[in-house]
């Protein structure tokens, strides 16, 4: 990762956030998440957003900021593109992914970094209600993840719908 890119992220997210996050997001394997589509963007961008919003809350409430940032960055470190198998129901495939990807994310994270018990809880239990978080930071990441995902989905929907609405208005 280039120094210029890290500086740009520091300008956007702040030095404290970046000092904790940089050893993770600069890792070569973590960088590969930029190529994995997720909701409206990439898994890399999604995890950065979740980590930053959760960090802001954890800092304000004087919770474990380091575990919050690290766990949030690693919560979707599954390193595969979710795709529905052709012969399967999309709801069942989504459920399968919801239960499988946290375990894969933890396995991948443990290969690259030392993971604390709180970070493990965040990674493995962020998919509430399919898993129940055990610490407050894991609850925070679970809610931040859902908030960011909803925002990303609504952005994608707006981009899909607005051009069609403009086209219809022109016809009227």
Q: What is d(CA 131, CA 98) in angstroms, rounded to the nearest whole number?
A: 9
Predicted local confidence at residue 7, as pLDDT:
75
Give yes or no for residue 65 having a pLDDT over 70.
Answer: yes
Q: What is d(CA 49, CA 73) in angstroms, rounded to the nearest whole number?
A: 9
Place of tokens 């904790």: 20
pTM above 0.85, yes or no: no
Give yes or no for residue 96 having a pLDDT over 90.
Answer: no
> Which domains are delineated in the chain?
3-171 (1.10.3210)
Write the DSSP assignment of 58-86 as a string of letters. HHHTT--HHHHHHHHHHTTTT-S-----T
Residue 35 β-bridge partners: none
Q: What is d(CA 122, CA 128) in angstroms, rounded to the nearest whole number?
A: 11
């Amino acid at each position: 990762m280039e120094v210029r890119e890290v500086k740009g992220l520091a300008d956007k997210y702040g030095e404290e956030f970046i000092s904790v996050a940089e050893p993770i997001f600069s890792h070569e394997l973590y960088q590969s998440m930029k190529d994995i589509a997720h909701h409206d963007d990439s898994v890399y961008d999604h995890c950065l957003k979740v980590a930053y919003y959760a960090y802001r809350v954890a800092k304000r409430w004087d919770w474990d900021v380091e575990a919050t940032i690290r766990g949030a960055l690693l919560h979707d470190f599954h390193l595969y593109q979710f795709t529905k198998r052709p012969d399967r129901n999309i709801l069942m495939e989504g459920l399968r992914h919801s239960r499988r990807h946290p375990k894969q994310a933890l396995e991948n994270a443990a290969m690259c970094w030392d993971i604390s018990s709180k970070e493990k809880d965040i990674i493995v239990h962020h998919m509430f209600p399919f898993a129940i978080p055990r610490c407050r930071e894991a609850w925070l990441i679970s809610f931040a993840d859902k908030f960011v995902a909803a925002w990303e989905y609504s952005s994608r929907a707006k981009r899909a719908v607005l051009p069609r609405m403009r086209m219809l208005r022109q016809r009227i």
